C-alpha cells in the first residue's frame, strides 16, 4: 500500500461533508409538478381504451418492472395462473421503461443483474447490458411466463382496501376498475418518482427543460441506442447533477451540444468500466445448470465481508474493494486483530481505492483545475459508485464546462438559464439529472387501508415495519418487495427481488394448498425482525461521516432512518430465507380463515 496521509484524508473528507450538509435534508427537493407534471404521461406507447374491470383475481401485482416480472414468473412456476399485473407505463420494464436517456445501462454485470437468464435461456450480449437490452429482457420474461395477457397497462392503482369479511383486497384504479383480489403484491420500486432541486425559478425558465428520466428525443435528436443528439448542435445545454444517471449521459451530450454546462454539487467517484461482448463459447462453458444462482451467491459472498469465496466470478470494479479487504484479512499479522484494527484496515483500503480513483481523474482530465474539481473526497460506498470509460474525458472538450458549486448546488433558475455562485449561465435547455424520491411506497401514489381501518401511512408514520421486508402486520395477504428491510444489497437489487418473489410464491401456494384464506405477519415476529435490522454502531458512524446523499438520508442519520437490511448481511438473509421457506411452517406468519360473521 502506498503511504497515504490518513489523518489528512480524514480531515479533508470531514470538511467536504460539512460544506455539503444542509438542515433541510430531504425537504430540499420538490416533486415534479407544474411544468413537470407531464412526467406522468407516457411518450412511448399509445394509451389504448379498454373496459373497466369489476371481477376477481387471485393475485394482483402492482408494478410491471423487475419486481413484478420476477414475482409473476415465480407464481406461474408455482402453477398459479390467475394473476394480474397493473402498471402505469405502457409496457413492462419499470424504471427501464421510463429511463431511456442516452447511455442508459446497468453497471452491475449483466450475468447477475438480468434476472432469470437461465430460465429464459438468454445469453447477454455484453458484460454490462445497455437500457434497450434490459428492456427487451423484461419482455422476454413476460413472454416466457405468459404475463402480457395478464397485464393492465396505463393503469394506476388509486386505492387498496382490505375487505375483512371476504378476506380480499378491493383494488381501485384511475381507469375506473374496481376489482377484488385475494392477494396483492406491491412491487412499485424504491426509486421511481423523479425529484427536482427545490430552488426558486424552476417554473420561470423560458427555454426547454426535462428530467433525465423522461428524455426528450424530439428535442435533442438521437435515440436510446446511442445515435448522436444532432438537434443539440446549435444549443447551449445545462445538466444539473453528476450522479449515476448523469455520468453516462454526459459523454453523449458532450459530443453533441454546441456548449454543455455541467452543474456539480458533489463530484461522483468514477471508476473504470470496461465493457466487452460476451463470447458464445465462453458463455456455453459457464452456463451449466444452476449457473446464475452460483454467480448471484458468489457476487453476494464477495461483497459480504467475512464470507469471501475463493473465486470472484464477476471480478470487476464493484468487487475490487471487497477483494482488497479479503487480501488484507488473509494476510498474517503479528498479533490477534480486534474489531478496531479491522475497521482501521478497511478504512485504509478505502482511502487507497479512492486515491486511485482520484489519480484516474488526473490521468484523464488535461486541465488540472478541472481535474481538481472532479475529485471525490469521501469513502467509496458513501454514495452510489459510478463507472465509466468516457465520462472524465468529456471534460477535455473545449465545449464542455464544469460548473462546480462547491457543495452548495445551483442557486436558482431564471427565465434565461441557471445561476450558481451569483453567475448566470444562459442556456437553451436544462436537463435535470437530480435523482428520485427514496420511498418504499409513496403514500400519494395510492392509499392502502388494511385490517380494522389501519392506514399504511399511519402504520409507518414512525418508520417502515415489516417481517423479512415482505409482510406487514395489519395488512393480510399483502406482500411488499422492500429490499431495504430484506438483504438490501445495493449493487444488485434483482437478487433481492428474485429471492423475495420465491418467498411470495411459496407462501401463497401454502395458503391455497391448505385451504386457508389469509396470512398475516404476527406482531411479535415483526417487532423481532425490526431488531434484526438495527444497524451496528460502526455502520451508523460510517454513514454519519459520509457526504450527504440518499444512502445516509441526506446526512440526517439516525438508527431508525437506517433500517438498511438484515444486520448479518445479504448472504445471511438469503440463507435465512431459504431455511425459512423450506421449513414449511413459516414461523412469524399466522394463517387463517375468514372471520365468522
Interface residue list for ligand NDP (CB under 6 A) = 20, 106-108, 191, 197, 199, 240-246, 263, 265-266, 384, 405, 409-410, 433-436, 549-550
Shortest separation between residue 33's beta carbon and ligand NDP, angstroms:
17
Shortest separation between residue 114's beta carbon and ligand NDP, angstroms:
11
Region of residue 17 (phi > 0: left; psi between -120 and 50: alpha; otherwise: beta): alpha
Shortest separation between residue 445's beta carbon and ligand NDP, angstroms:
18
Shortest separation between residue 116's beta carbon and ligand NDP, angstroms:
17
Using the minimum distance from each CB to ligand NDP, give the nearer residue, 436 or 566.
436
Rg (CA), the chain: 24
Cα 579 to Cα 507: distance, rounded to the nearest angstrom:
13
Shortest separation between residue 380's beta carbon and ligand NDP, angstroms:
13
Using the minimum distance from each CB to ligand NDP, give the nearer residue, 235 or 265.
265
Residue length of the chain: 597
H helical segments located in 475-522: 493-513
Shortest separation between residue 409's beta carbon and ligand NDP, angstroms:
3
Shortest separation between residue 423's beta carbon and ligand NDP, angstroms:
14
Beta bridge partners of 172: 159, 178
* Cell 473528507, located at residue: 13
Cα 97 to Cα 88: distance, rounded to the nearest angstrom:
10
Cα 49 to Cα 35: distance, rounded to the nearest angstrom:
26
Beta bridge partners of 169: 162, 181
Shortest separation between residue 280's beta carbon and ligand NDP, angstroms:
25
Q: Tell me the pairing of strands 259-264 and 400-404.
A: parallel
Residues 466 and 531: beta-carbon distance below 8 Å: no
Cα 188 to Cα 466: distance, rounded to the nearest angstrom:
16
Using the minimum distance from each CB to ligand NDP, give the nearer residue, 109 or 151.
109
Using the minimum distance from each CB to ligand NDP, give the nearer residue, 450 or 549.
549
Cα 241 to Cα 582: distance, rounded to the nearest angstrom:
46
Using the minimum distance from each CB to ligand NDP, give the nearer residue, 187 or 241.
241
Using the minimum distance from each CB to ligand NDP, give the nearer residue, 262 or 525.
262
One-character DSSP codes across 83-147? EEEE-SSSSS-THHHH---TT-B-SS-HHHHSTTHHHHTPPPSBSS-BHHHHHHHHHHHHHHTT-
Using the minimum distance from each CB to ligand NDP, give the nearer residue, 17 or 84.
17
Using the minimum distance from each CB to ligand NDP, give the nearer residue, 188 or 434.
434
Amino acid at each position: 500500500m502506498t503511504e497515504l496521509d490518513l489523518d489528512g484524508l480524514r480531515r479533508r473528507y470531514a470538511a467536504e461533508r460539512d460544506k455539503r450538509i444542509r438542515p433541510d435534508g430531504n425537504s430540499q427537493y420538490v416533486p415534479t409538478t407544474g411544468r413537470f407534471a407531464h412526467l406522468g404521461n407516457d411518450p412511448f406507447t399509445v394509451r389504448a381504451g379498454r373496459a373497466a374491470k369489476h371481477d376477481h383475481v387471485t393475485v394482483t401485482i402492482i408494478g410491471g418492472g423487475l419486481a413484478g416480472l420476477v414475482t409473476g414468473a415465480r407464481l406461474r412456476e408455482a402453477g398459479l395462473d390467475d394473476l394480474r399485473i397493473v402498471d402505469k407505463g405502457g409496457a413492462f420494464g419499470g424504471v427501464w421503461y421510463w429511463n431511456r436517456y442516452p447511455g442508459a445501462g446497468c453497471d452491475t454485470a449483466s450475468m447477475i443483474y438480468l434476472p432469470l437468464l437461465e430460465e429464459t435461456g438468454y445469453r447477454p450480449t455484453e458484460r454490462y447490458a445497455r437500457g434497450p437490452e434490459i428492456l427487451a429482457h423484461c419482455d422476454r420474461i413476460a413472454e416466457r411466463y405468459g404475463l402480457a395477457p395478464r397485464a393492465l397497462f396505463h393503469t394506476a392503482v388509486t386505492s387498496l382496501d382490505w375487505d375483512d369479511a371476504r378476506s380480499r383486497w378491493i383494488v381501485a384504479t384511475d381507469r375506473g376498475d374496481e376489482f377484488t383480489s385475494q392477494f396483492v403484491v406491491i412491487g412499485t420500486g424504491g426509486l421511481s418518482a423523479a425529484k427536482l432541486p427545490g430552488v426558486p425559478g424552476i417554473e420561470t425558465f423560458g427555454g426547454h427543460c426535462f428530467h433525465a428520466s423522461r428524455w426528450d428525443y424530439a428535442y435533442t435528436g438521437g435515440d436510446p441506442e446511442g445515435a448522436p443528439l444532432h438537434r443539440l448542435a446549435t444549443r447551449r445545454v445545462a445538466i444539473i447533477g453528476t450522479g449515476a444517471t448523469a455520468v453516462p449521459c454526459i459523454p453523449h451530450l458532450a459530443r453533441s451540444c454546441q456548449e454543455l454546462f455541467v452543474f456539480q454539487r458533489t463530484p461522483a467517484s468514477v471508476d473504470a468500466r470496461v465493457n466487452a461482448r460476451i463470447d458464445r463459447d465462453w458463455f456455453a462453458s459457464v452456463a451449466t445448470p444452476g449457473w446464475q444462482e452460483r454467480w448471484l451467491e458468489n457476487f453476494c459472498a464477495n461483497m459480504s465481508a467475512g464470507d469471501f469465496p475463493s473465486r470472484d466470478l464477476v471480478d470487476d470494479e464493484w468487487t475490487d474493494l471487497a477483494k482488497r479487504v479479503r487480501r488484507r484479512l488473509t494476510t498474517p499479522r503479528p498479533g490477534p486483530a480486534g474489531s478496531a484494527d479491522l475497521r482501521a484496515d478497511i478504512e485504509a483500503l478505502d482511502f487507497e481505492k479512492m486515491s486511485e480513483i482520484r489519480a484516474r481523474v488526473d490521468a484523464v482530465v488535461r486541465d488540472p483545475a478541472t481535474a481538481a474539481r472532479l475529485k471525490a473526497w469521501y469513502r467509496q460506498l458513501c454514495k452510489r459508485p459510478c463507472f465509466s470509460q468516457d465520462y472524465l474525458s468529456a471534460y477535455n472538450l473545449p465545449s464542455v464546462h464544469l460548473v462546480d458549486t462547491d457543495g452548495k448546488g445551483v442557486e436558482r433558475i431564471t427565465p434565461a438559464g441557471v445561476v450558481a455562485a451569483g453567475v448566470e449561465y444562459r442556456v437553451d435547455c436544462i436537463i435535470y439529472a437530480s435523482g428520485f424520491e427514496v420511498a418504499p411506497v409513496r403514500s400519494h401514489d395510492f392509499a392502502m387501508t388494511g385490517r380494522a381501518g389501519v392506514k399504511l401511512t399511519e402504520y409507518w408514520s414512525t418508520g417502515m415495519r415489516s417481517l423479512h421486508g415482505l409482510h406487514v402486520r395489519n395488512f393480510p395477504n399483502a406482500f411488499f418487495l422492500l429490499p431495504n428491510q430484506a438483504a438490501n444489497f445495493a449493487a444488485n437489487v434483482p437478487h433481492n427481488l428474485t429471492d423475495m418473489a420465491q418467498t411470495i410464491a411459496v407462501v401463497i401456494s401454502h395458503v391455497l394448498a391448505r385451504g386457508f384464506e389469509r396470512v398475516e405477519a404476527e406482531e411479535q415476529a415483526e417487532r423481532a425482525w425490526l431488531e434484526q435490522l438495527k444497524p451496528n454502531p460502526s455502520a451508523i458512524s460510517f454513514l454519519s461521516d459520509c457526504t450527504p446523499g440518499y444512502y445516509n438520508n441526506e446526512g440526517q442519520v439516525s438508527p431508525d432512518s437506517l433500517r438498511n437490511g438484515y444486520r448479518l448481511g445479504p448472504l445471511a438473509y438469503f440463507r435465512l430465507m431459504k431455511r425459512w421457506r423450506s421449513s414449511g411452517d413459516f414461523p412469524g406468519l399466522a394463517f387463517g380463515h375468514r372471520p365468522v360473521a
